[in-house]
Every structure is written in C-alpha cells, then in structure tokens.
Structure 1
C-alpha cells in the first residue's frame, strides 16, 4: 500500500469524482443521442409514407418529400455514428488483434489511433473549408443552403477525432490492460433493443 500525503489523496479523490461525473454526462448524452437519432429514423419513415400516400393515394405528389427524407437520413446516419455507435458496433477484421498478447494489442492500438487521429485531424480543416464553401449552393426542392445540409459531416468528423483521442489516451493510460482485454467492450443494448 502506498503512502500519500493528504493533498495527494484529495487530488486523487477529486480526479475520481471528475471522472465519474464525466462518465455520467457522456452516458446521459449518449442516451439522448440514441433517442434523437431513433426519432430521426422514424421521421424518415413518416416522410416516406407521406410522400407515397400523396403521390399514389391523393395524386398530388409532394416535391420536397424525397429531398427532406434524404437530408434527415444523412443527419441521422452521421449523428448516429458520431454519438451512438460504439467501436464494437463496427465491422472489424481483428484476426491479428486476437493473436497478439496484451502488450502487442496496446502498441497496435496506440499506432492505429495515432495514425487515424492524425489523418482525420489533418483533413478536418479541409473538410470544414469545403462544407463552408457550399453556402453558395442550395437544395433543389427545399432551397436549403448546402453548408447547413452537410454540417453534420463536420460534427461527425470532429467526434471521430475526439473519440480517437480518447481511445489513444485510454491505451496510453495506466489502465490500458482493461482496454485490450478480450471482453473490454461488452455489448450493451441501445434504445431500440
């Protein structure tokens, strides 16, 4: 057992409390994001049904329904991957990962997150610049500015960078073994099931 000064013990306790508060906020935010993206998915379905009904039941097609459904789908897809999806939800080719010992997994994890984090960070200003450039263009039916329509891509890109940075810190931190274990990320149900 290590001896700590009262000041070091207090700092340690504050660190634990801050970590717990941060985890609580992230968990709550993820739950809200799940509900929002689920609602967006149902909105896509409702818009699609309204468009089909207007066209084939009432013989009065809605010009904007396909465009709105596509915009909501785009936002739903990028926001879901940015805020709701976990690493374990993605398809991964982990044959090499499964064969490596914990130290090797740590090295691969550090290299992978550093490489992809760097690539995304370098590309981020270019992505932002291009999306901001799209203010000149509009969608054809709703006449919405394309920079607003594609702003979800900036949010997505920023969250990928944040998630990669957090993953790098977890691989570099003192509790790295928990992140390279075979059961490091247990499957947890989301809002829909």
Structure 2
C-alpha cells in the first residue's frame, strides 16, 4: 500500500478518534448538567438525559465502525488462538463471510426501517428518529467494507495474526 494512502488513513483514523472523544465529552457534560439540575436544583430536565442516550448510541456505533481495530474486538478465541495459521485463516474467513452475509441480507430492511422512522421524533429535543438511527447505516456500511477488506487480506495476503497474551492491552 502506498505511503500516501497509509498517511491519509492514519489522519482519518485520528479524526475519527477526535469525533469519538468530542462525543464522549459532550455526553459527560450532559450527564453533569443532568445531575446538577436534578439533585442540586431539584429541577429534573429530560433533554440532558436524551442527549446522553443519543450520544451513547452514536458513540458506540461510531467507535465500532471507525475506531476499534479488529485485534481490539472482544471475542472468545480459545480455539482461534491455538490454531495454526492456515486453520486460523479458514476460521476467520468463515466468520467474516457469515457476518458479511448477515449484514448484507439485513441491510435493505434496516435501511427501510431507518427511513420509515422519519415520522417519529424524540420527546424533548424533537430530533427525527431517522437522523438519530442513521449512524447504524454508517456502521453497517463501514463493517461490510472492513470485512470485505479483511477477507481479501486473509484470502490473498497473510493469515490473521495469532493472539499474543503478552502483548494484550487496552489498545494504547
């Protein structure tokens, strides 16, 4: 892969992390506002809770789509880690093709549902539900693209990396 693509990918990855961090800060600020209004001012407000919930949905799906790398995913990999590279490659391809099939088959119905939700709005901020759930469409497209790329690499490149418990960490 040319270094210009790699540097562009790194830049885009850092911007996705920045968006994720901004959503986390905004969610935490809304959470603090909610606590202050409810417990200090004895004036419960619903919009702060709604912002927290909306940002949580976006935070999880944005992070899963653009920030969390394949090796950082949580999984039960007792057999996968013990397998030889060729078997590990086959196991990965079976799992990846299953995910691709499920996401691809469900995509038209999900798209229809998200588009249908334009008739609903959130209770306090009146955010259209199709805008709120549009992140799921982005998530599905990103996951399909990721697993197509990873499947291509597994078929024609090197086998997926063996898990090394010595190098396990939080991704930092």
Alignment pair present for 1:116 and 2:94 = no
Could you tell me which residue of structure 1 aligns to residue 138 of structure 2?
155
Partner of 1:43: 26
- Contact 1:48 1:65 (8 Å CA) reproduced: yes
Change (3 A) 1:182 1:52: closer
Distance in 1 between the 2:168 and 2:7 partners? Answer: 18
Decide which structure has the larger Cα Rg and report it. Answer: 1
Matches within 5 A, 1:1-193: 16-17=1-2, 20-173=3-156, 175-177=157-159, 179-182=160-163, 193=172
Q: Distance in 2 between matches of 1:105 and 1:77?
A: 28
Q: Write the distance in 2 (CA, Å) between the matches of 1:59 and 1:36.
A: 33
Rounded Cα–Cα distance in structure 1 between residues aligned with 2:127 and 2:90: 46
- Partners of 2:80 and 2:52 lie apart in 1 by 39
The number of residue pairs the alignment matches comes to 170
Post-superposition offset of 1:87: 1.8
Deviation at 1:181, TM superposition (A): 4.1
Distance 2:122 2:80 in 1: 44
Q: Would the alpha carbon gap of residues 187 and 29 (structure 1) be closer, same or farther in structure 2, given more than 3 Å must change?
A: farther
- More divergent stretch after superposition (135-144 vs 92-101): 92-101
CA RMSD of aligned residues (A): 1.9
Match of 1:4 in 2: none
Specify every segment of 5 or more residues in structure 1 that has no aligned partner in the other structure, as ranges: 1-15
CA contact (8 A) 1:55 1:61 kept: yes
Stretches of structure 2 that go unaligned for 5 or more consecutive residues are none
Q: What stretches of structure 1 move > 4 A for 4+ residues in a row?
A: 186-190
